[in-house]
Structure 1
């Protein structure tokens, strides 16, 4: 079974409090996700801030217009430092996403470490090579631009 990681870093022109306020609000997830993903949060009564144990349910359309239910759990949080979301139901055999932030001179460094395993064994490995890896890169590139639009370009 193949296992992969995507690691992305971005310097952001804001304070750690401002960035934490933005990324810890589940309502902002849609703002940093490409429109073509058809991303809709279907969890009712979404709180303003995430918390450990929180379950969030979405409908996403990651490939070929096929709508998929994705359920994640926020498993770890250290305020102004990191949080982890893990897939409970969805398109991957494994999805573990660490969101790490730390203050740097004139801003914040945000690092994402996504550890994932596509479904279907060998076929999933082929799909990762041909499609999934590039699609994840696209999604995180979009997010980089969306965060820059929110806070300005780091200089």
Structure 2
């Protein structure tokens, strides 16, 4: 029997809505009530599953009429989205988040399977083989930002 945890269920629910609409606007408390969880569980799902690295932009407005808006974006569709992604990468990125960026580029049709696999190989922990995680994450970020800039100028 395949048992999903509640975070997976909430993520899939939001992704199903996004598959039919350009974006989704939710109220954290309403979704929490719907799934019988605390509102912080909704925050966790959004912060970990709907990141720019995964191809999502999240906007929130606090207060009585507050909402959280999630939109699936093509990472290279606009210069602004690319700048946000490069800013999110910054000067350091771990292997998990870097792989998510490459997966999003592949999903958006910006990379072929072969290109994505080559990039994944280049930024893999075993390839970099450094004994200092900070240095490894810095080099990985430089490689990814360089690739993104190259793709930006080619598209």
TM range (shorter): under 0.3
Q: When you count strand as a share of all residues, which structure comes out higher?
A: 1
Q: When you count helix as a share of all residues, which structure comes out higher?
A: 2
TM-score by length of 1: 0.26
TM-score by length of 2: 0.26
- Larger Cα Rg: Structure 1 or Structure 2? 2
